[in-house]
Structure 1
Amino acid sequence: MPVIAFRDLSISSKSFVLLELLVFMSSLLVAISANQLIGIVDFTLPPNNVLFIYALVFALTSQLTCLALGLYNSKLRENFRGLFRRILLAIAIAFSIVTLVNPLYGDFALPIELLALSSLIALVLMLVLRYGAHRVDFFGFHKRKVLIIGAGQRASIIEKRMRRDVDRQSFKVHAYVQMEGDSADGIERETKIRLDGSLVSYALDNEIDEIVVASDERRNNLPVDELFACKIRGIEVTEILDFIERETGQIAVNLIYPSWVIYSNGFTSTNYLRNTLDWLFNAAIAFVLLLITWPVMLITAIIIKLDDGFSAPIFYRQERVGVDGHPFYIIKFRSMRVDAEKHGAQWASKNDDRTTRIGNFIRKYRIDELPQIYNVMRGDMGFVGPRPERPEFVQNLVKSIPYYNERHNVKPGLAGWAQLKYPYGATEADALEKLKYDLYYIKHRSFFLDLLILIRTVEIVVFGKGR
C-alpha cells in the first residue's frame, strides 16, 4: 500500500482495518465467555478493564502479524488458497507472541487453552471476513472520481502504468481533457473530451472529486483561474507527479523537473544527531539479529563447504557504492560458483545458471544477506535504504538515468521500499523502476516508514520471494 498513515487510507480501507480489529478483540472475549458457559478450563476471571486491555493486545498483535505477512497490502494478488495460508501463518505467529507475553500479566494471566481457542475463533472469523471481502472487492468502495487535465504523454502514464483495477482502488478516471500542445500519441483507449464551456461547471455537474493536472504544455496553457475556482469549491487539484507518488508509492523520474524537487515536501537533509541515532538503532537491531540467526549462519557455512568442497570460500566480498558515493565492501554468503565472474561484472538474473545448489535456497530466503549484519554494525549500511549497487553498474546508470545519483544521498540498506514494491531487477530498465521507489523512500523516510518496511520484509523472507 503506497500510503503509510492510517488517516490517509480510504474510508473502505479504514473500515476494514477497524473491522478486523473488532474481530480479533471479539475472538478473545467470545472464547472467555464460552469458557464461562461450558467450563473448558478453571481459572479466575480478570476484571473487565484487564480483559479489555488483553483483548486489545491480542488484536493489535494479530494485526501486526497480518501486516508482516502482506495481508494489508491492498495490491495483494492471491487466490483464496493463498490468503488462507497467510492468515493461518499470521494467526499462528500471533498466538506464539501472545503466549510469550501472557506470563507478564501475573495473576491475571490466561490459560493457554483459552488463547488457543481465541486463535481458532479468530482464524475462522478472519477466513469468513476475508472470503467475503475477496468476493465483493471491498476495497473498491468510495472511489474518488478524477478528471485528468491533459491527454498527451504525461497523462498517458496513468493509462499505461495504472491500467489495472488493482492500481485504481482509491479512484476512477472520469475522462481526460484534451489540451493544446498535448502529444498526439498520448491517451489511446480511455475517454477523451474537449471542454467548450467552463471547467468549474463541468466538474460540479459531473461530481468530480479531484482534478489532476497532466498536460504536456503548461506555459500559458492552463486554465489557472478555473482551477483556482475549483479549488475554492472543494475540488482537490493535484499535480501529476504528486498524484502518481500518492497512488503508486513511487516518483515518476521521467516527469521530474528541478522546481518540483525544490518546492515539494520531503527530501529533508540529515544531521549529525539523526545519523548517530540511526547507527545506534541499526547496531542494536543487528546485535539482536546476530544472536537469533547465528545458528542459521553456522549451518549455512557448513553446507556451503560440504556442497563445494572445503577449499571453496564461504563468503565473498564485493565492492558497492554507499552514501555520498563512497565505496565499501559488502560481505555475503557465496551463492554462486567461484568463477561466476571470470568474464567480468554482470547483472544477476532470474534462474542464473551460475548459482550453486545451496545458493538457490539461501538467495530465495535471503539467508545470503545475513553476513551483512557486519556492514550494519560498521555503519556502512542500515537495515532500511536503497540497495547498494556495484561501481561498474553505477557509472553507466548515472549517465543514462536522470537523478540516479540522488539515491546515494542516504545510507544503503539490507531491505528497501523498492524491494517490497518491485519484485526483481536485472537490467537498466529495472534499475529505473527501482529508482522511482528509492526516491519515494528518500522523500518520505522516517522511523515509521523504516519500521513498516522491516515488518513487510518478513513476508519476503517467509514466502521465499528473494533472489
Structure 2
Amino acid sequence: MGFYLDIAFSNNFYIFELYNKSRWENNTKLLLYISFAVLITSSIVAFLSYIFAFNMVIGRAILLFYSMFSILLLFAWRKLFVNVFSKSEYLKEKVLLIGDGAIVNDINSIVKTYKIIPYDLKIIRNYSENPGTDCVSDSISFQSLFDIVVDNKFNTIVVACSLNDFPLLRKWLFDMKFSGIAIYDALYFYEALSAKIPIDSIKDSWFLFHNQGKKFNPFLYSRIKRIVDILLSLCGIIILSPLMLIIGLAIKLSSKGTIFFKQERLGQNEKPFTILKFRTMIVNAEKDGPKWSNKNDSRVTKVGRPLRKCRFDELPQLFNILKGEMSFIGTRPIRKYFAEKLAKDIPYYRLRFIIKPGLTGWAQVQGRYFDNNEEQKEKLEYDLFYIQNQSLFFDLFIVLKTVSTVLFGKGQ
C-alpha cells in the first residue's frame, strides 16, 4: 500500500505543480492545489486497496482524518520552507560568473527569477590578467581570484570565457576544482537552469560532440518507445472512441465544413505525412495565406475553442501515432511553408526533424504559445534540449507536465 501511496502522491504533486516553488507564494492557491492533490490521491489509494487488498478495510473517518492532516502538514511545510529555509544564507548557492556576452546576460536574467534554488550571483565581466602578477582586475576588487573566491565564500564558479586566453585563470580553476569548488561551463550552466539550449551561443562542434557519454537515441529506447506508442494509441482509440464520436457530431452541427482537418506536415527526416485533427477553425481560415495560430485567434469556432483549451482537437492524431508517423512525445509537426521560412532565420532549425514529431513535447508544456519568429526560436531551444536529453524518465515527466498543462489551460 505504501508503494501505491508514494506513486500516487508523486504523480499528483507533479500534475498540480506542487514541486514548483512559484506555486507556493499564493496561500489560497497553494492550499487549494494541495487539497486537490491529497483528495485525489486518497481516492486513488482507497480504490486500489479495494481492488488489490480487499481484505483490508480503510474506514471513512480514518481516510478523512488522514487527508485533512496531510493537507495541513504539507501546507505548513511549504510555507516554512519558503519563509525560513529558502531565505537562509546557508542554503544559498553563491556563484561567481566570469566572462561577458549574451550568455552571461541570459544567465543573470534567469538567476534573478529562479524559484528552485536561491542564488547569490556575482559577475566579473571585464576579467583580465596582469603579466608578472597573480592579481585580477575586475568589478569586485584587485586581488587574486583565489582570494576573491575564499573571501566571498563562493561555492560555484561559472566560466564564460576562453581559457586559452587566460593561463592564470586556468591554473586557478584547477586548484579550486580540487579544493571542492564546483566549476561549470557557462553553456552547461545555462542549459541546467533553463532546460533549453542557447542556440546563439553555441557552435557546430557542440551539437556534434555534446553528451558523448550518452548514447544518442539508443536502439533499446527507440524500440521501447515505439511499443508504448502502439499500445497506448490502440487503447486510446478504443477507450476514447465514444468521446471522439460526440466531438465529431458537435463540430458537424455547430459549423459548416468537415469534421476532420487534414494537412500535410513534415515528420522525421522532413518526410511529409498527413496529420489528422478535429476541425476547430472556420472554413477557408487561411484564405489570406498561412499564418501562425495564437491564443485569441478569431478564426476559431465556438466548439473549437474549448476543444483547443483541453487539447481534444488533437485526439485523431492517435491514428498518426499508430501508423508510426508520430510519437506521443517529440517535437510538434510543422508545415513545410513555415519550416522553410524558419530555417532561413533560425540556426540549426532542421535539427528538430531528427526525431519523430509528437502529440506533446517539452516545448508544449512550457505554458504559452510560440506565435512569432522570435518565440519559435525559443521553442527550438526547448526542442533541442529534449532531443539531446531523451529518456523514458524524461518522457514520463513530460506526460505529467502535459496533464498539468491541460488541467490549468496553459500553453500551446
Q: Would you say same fold, with TM above 0.5? A: yes
Letter in 2 for 1:251: I
TM-score (norm 2): 0.89
Stretch deviating more after TM superposition (384-393 or 218-227): 218-227
Q: 2:314 aligns with which of 369, 392, 396?
A: 369
How many Å apart are 1:218 and its aligned residue?
5.5
Question: Counterpart of 2:94?
Answer: 145
Residue 205, structure 1, aligned to residue 154, structure 2: no
The question of whether the paired residues in 2 share the 8 Å contact of 1:425 and 1:431 is answered with yes
- Superposed CA deviations along residues 257-311 of structure 1, whole A, max 9, x for unmatched, are 22333343267433555433221111112223334333322221121122115xx
TM-superposed deviation, 1:373: 0.8
Instruction: Give SS of 1:224's match.
Output: helix
Q: Give the corresponding residue for 2:393.
A: 448
Contact 1:74 1:139 in 2 (8 A): no
| Segment drifting more, 112-121 vs 219-228 | 112-121
- Structure 2 CA distance, aligned partners of 1:63 and 1:321? 36
Aligned equivalent of 2:376: 431
Question: Structure 1 residues 154, 127: CA separation in 2 closer, same or farther (over 3 Å shift)?
Answer: closer
User: Retained in 2: the 8 A contact 1:177–1:194?
Assistant: no
Residues 1:118 and 2:66 are matched in the alignment: yes
Is 2:98–2:159's contact at 8 Å kept on the other side of the alignment? yes
Residue aligning to 1:352: 297
Cα gap change, 1:461/1:292 in structure 2, threshold over 3 Å: closer, same or farther? Answer: farther
What is the one-letter code of the residue matched to 1:252? P
CA distance, structure 2, for counterparts of residue 280 and residue 59 of structure 1: 27
Structure 1 CA distance, aligned partners of 2:156 and 2:270? 40
Q: Among residues 225, 229, 238, which one is paired with 1:278 in the alignment?
A: 225
Matching residue's letter, 2:193: E
SS of residue paired to 1:336? coil
Q: 1:381 to 1:147 in 2, by over 3 A?
A: same
Q: Which residue of 2 aligns with 1:403?
A: 348
CA spacing shift, 1:80–1:288, aligned 2, 3 Å:
farther
Asked whether the 8 Å contact 1:213–1:239 carries over to 2, the reply is yes
Cα shift at 1:342: 1.2
CA distance in 2, matches of 1:221, 1:275: 43
- Provide Cα deviations, 1:230-277, integer angstroms capped at 9, x if missing partner: 112111111110000111111111111223333432674335554332
- 1:292 corresponds, among 228, 239, 246, to 239
Cα contact 1:366–1:466 (8 A) shared by 2: no
Q: 1:175 to 1:272 in 2, by over 3 A?
A: closer
1:106 equivalent in structure 2: 54
Match in the other structure for 1:225: 171
Per the TM alignment, residue 210 of structure 1 is displaced from its structure 2 partner at its CA by 1.0
- Amino acid across the alignment from 1:69: F
Query: In the alignment, which residue of structure 1 is the partner of 2:188?
Result: 242
Counterpart Cα distance in 1 of 2:74 and 2:303: 37
Contact 1:143–1:171, Cα closer than 8 Å, also in 2: yes
Cα displacement (A) at 1:145:
0.6
Does the CA-based 8 Å contact 2:196-2:382 persist in structure 1? yes
Paired residues of 1:198 and 1:226 also in contact (CA < 8 A): no
Letter paired with 1:264: H
Post-superposition CA distance 1:78-108 (Å, at most 9, x none): 6222223322221232123112211211323
Name the CA distance, whole Å, in 2 between partners of 1:256 and 1:160. 19
Q: In the superposition, relative to structure 1, how do residues 226 and 422 fare at CA in structure 2: closer, same or farther (>3 Å)?
A: farther
SS of residue in 1 equivalent to 2:142 = coil
Q: 2:327 aligns with which of 382, 392, 398?
A: 382
- The one-letter code of the counterpart of 2:335 is R
Q: Which runs of 5+ in 2 are unaligned?
A: 130-137
Q: Quick check: 1:160 aligned with 2:115?
A: no
Cα 1:131/1:249, change in 2 over 3 Å = same
1:333 is aligned to: 278
Structure 1 distance, partners of 2:102, 2:14, is 36
Give the 3-state SS of the residue equivalent to 1:341 in structure 2. coil
Aligned equivalents of 1:290 and 1:226: distance in 2? 60
Match of 1:462 in 2: 407
Residue 304 of structure 1 contacts residue 314 of structure 1 at CA under 8 Å; is this kept in 2? Answer: yes
Maintained 8 Å contact 1:365/1:466? no
CA separation of 1:295/1:84 partners in 2, compared to 1, >3 Å: closer, same or farther? farther
Contact residue 61 and residue 97 of structure 1 kept, 8 A: yes
| Structure 1 unaligned blocks of 5 or more | 1-53, 182-191
CA distance in 2, matches of 1:334, 1:77: 38
Q: Which residue is 1:86 aligned to?
A: 33
User: 2: CA distance between counterparts of 1:263 and 1:371?
Assistant: 38
Q: TM-score, normalised by structure 1?
A: 0.79
* 1:129 pairs with 2:77: yes
Query: What SS does the aligned partner of 2:343 have?
Result: helix
Equivalent-residue separation in structure 2 for 1:240 and 1:421 (angstroms): 23
Alpha-carbon offset, residue 417 of structure 1: 1.1
Deviations 1:333-373 (CA, angstroms, capped at 9, x unpaired): 11111110112211001201001111111101111111111
Q: Tell me the percent identity.
A: 33
Q: Which deviations, in whole Å up to 9, do the C-alpha atoms of 1:34-89 show, x marking residues without a partner?
A: xxxxxxxxxxxxxxxxxxxx345324412321112211124447622222332222
In 2: Cα distance, 1:336 partner to 1:137 partner: 50
Deviations along 1:89-131, one digit per CA (max 9) or x if unpaired, are: 2123212311221121132343455334422332233333334
User: What value does the CA root-mean-square deviation take over the aligned residues?
Assistant: 2.4
Evaluate the alpha carbon distance shift between residue 98 and residue 431 of structure 1 in structure 2; reply closer, same or farther with a 3 A threshold: same
Distance 1:134 1:170, change over 3 A: closer
